Amino acid sequence: NYHQRMKVTGHNEISHLSESFNQMSERIETMEKLRNEFVSSASHELKTPLASMKILVESIIHQGITDPEMVKEFLGDVDLEIDRLNNIINDLLTLVQVDKQSLVLHKSAFPMQELIIRTMKVLNPIAEQKKIQLAFDIREGVYVDGDMAKLQQVLMNLVDNALKYTPEGGQVVVTLLRKDNYARILVADTGIGIPEADLPHIFERFYRVDKARSRSTGGTGLGLAIVRQIVEMHDGTITVSSKEGEGSLITVDLPSVEPPEKLQQEEVQP
Ligand code: ADP
């Protein structure tokens, strides 16, 4: 009963309880702060394309622009801003899903090399258009137990970045190898690279090395944050190394599994 409980709750226990309580409220405060920062960054990101659209539309209205060609050009720019808004909102929705852990992984064991080859085929036209040589180097086939669609999103994002931040005539290579019990995927480019001071931050939400440049390439600054979340949901790791003016290297390690046939054979054997 209450009195008995009061007796056993000695001074030490009370100070222990109050300490945990303080830690808990500090944690809640930090979470609240992070959430507020997220909401204000997100709002800021959404306001930028809106502001551009407002200027474009107002100049048509107030400057009495009637030349159909010019109106068409302005509307084309508005259309691009709408695309950008859509990209940001899609990325935000994915991020929130991953955050809530409500993103259900549809896992199956699959050969990573197949996913790489498939993704490269999708991205090849972009590389050709930018005159960048896109190649893959499958050193060893490795099976991974994961969500193929989500992991394809990871690859697409990484190779897309590599292509985005590499000038014409450059090279992007995706390598697959086995490293201990991991499938190691390397995405290397000969692009502009990332300054050393920015390296620790590039997986943060909304972080961009060069805001203007990233915006002009349609970046939201959310791609790598999403990529890291997906990789971590698969118990994997992602790291970056880079040298300004020389290129970047992203390394993704995902736990490997035995090929399904082998598993079955082992199960059948007595
Ligand atoms: P964004 O949508 O702006 O590309 P990301 O989250 O994908 O956002 O990347 C964050 C930032 O990291 C980018 O704005 C860019 O400055 C830098 N970055 C990412 N990948 C590369 C790369 N391969 N080469 C150079 N910079 C890169």
Q: How far is the CA of 253 from the centre of ligand 1 (A)?
A: 19
Q: Is the dihedral of CA 31, 32, 37, 39 positive or negative?
A: positive
Cα–Cα distance measured from residue 225 to residue 95, given in angstroms and rounded to the nearest whole number: 8
| 252 Cβ below 6 A of ligand 1 | no
Closest C-alpha to 248, from 211, 199, 208? 199
Alpha carbons 125 and 129: distance in angstroms, whole number: 6
Ligand 1 atom closest to residue 162's alpha carbon, by position in its atom list:
23
189 lines ligand 1 (CB under 6 A): yes
**Residue whose CA is at the smallest distance from ligand 1 atom 11:** 208
Give the pLDDT score at 6. 53
Quote the ligand 1 centre to 223 CA distance (angstroms). 8
Instruction: Assign 112 to helix, strand or coil.
Output: helix
Query: Is the CB of 219 within 6 Å of ligand 1?
Result: yes
| Smallest CA separation from ligand 1 atom 7, residue | 223
* Residues 230/251, Cβ–Cβ less than 8 Å: no
Q: Phi and psi at residue 192, in whole multiples of 5°?
A: -70, -20
Q: Which of 196, 154, 203 is nearest to 174 (CA)?
A: 154
Ligand 1 lined by 170 (C-beta under 6 Å): no
State the SS3 of 48-60.
HHHHHHHHHHHHH
State how beta strands 182-189 and 107-111 pair: unpaired
Q: Ligand 1, closest atom to CA 207?
A: 10
pLDDT value of residue 1: 54
* Single-letter amino acid code for the residue at 249: L
* Per-residue confidence (pLDDT) for residue 97, from 0 to 100: 78
Cα-to-centroid distance, 204 and ligand 1 (Å): 11
Can you give the pLDDT of all 270 residues of the chain as single tens digits? 555 555 555 678 888 888 888 899 988 888 888 888 888 888 888 998 999 999 999 988 888 888 899 899 999 999 999 999 998 998 888 888 777 666 788 999 999 999 999 999 999 999 999 999 999 999 999 999 999 999 999 999 999 999 999 999 999 999 999 999 999 999 999 999 999 999 999 999 888 888 666 656 667 889 999 999 999 999 999 999 999 999 999 999 999 999 887 655 555 555
* ipTM confidence score: 0.97
Cα 72 to ligand 1 centre (Å): 32
pLDDT of residue 189: 98
Give the pLDDT confidence score for residue 15 in this predicted structure: 87
Best of 224, 246, 248, 250 to mutate for ligand 1, by most ligand atoms within 8 A of CB? 224
Residue whose tokens read 């808990």:
24
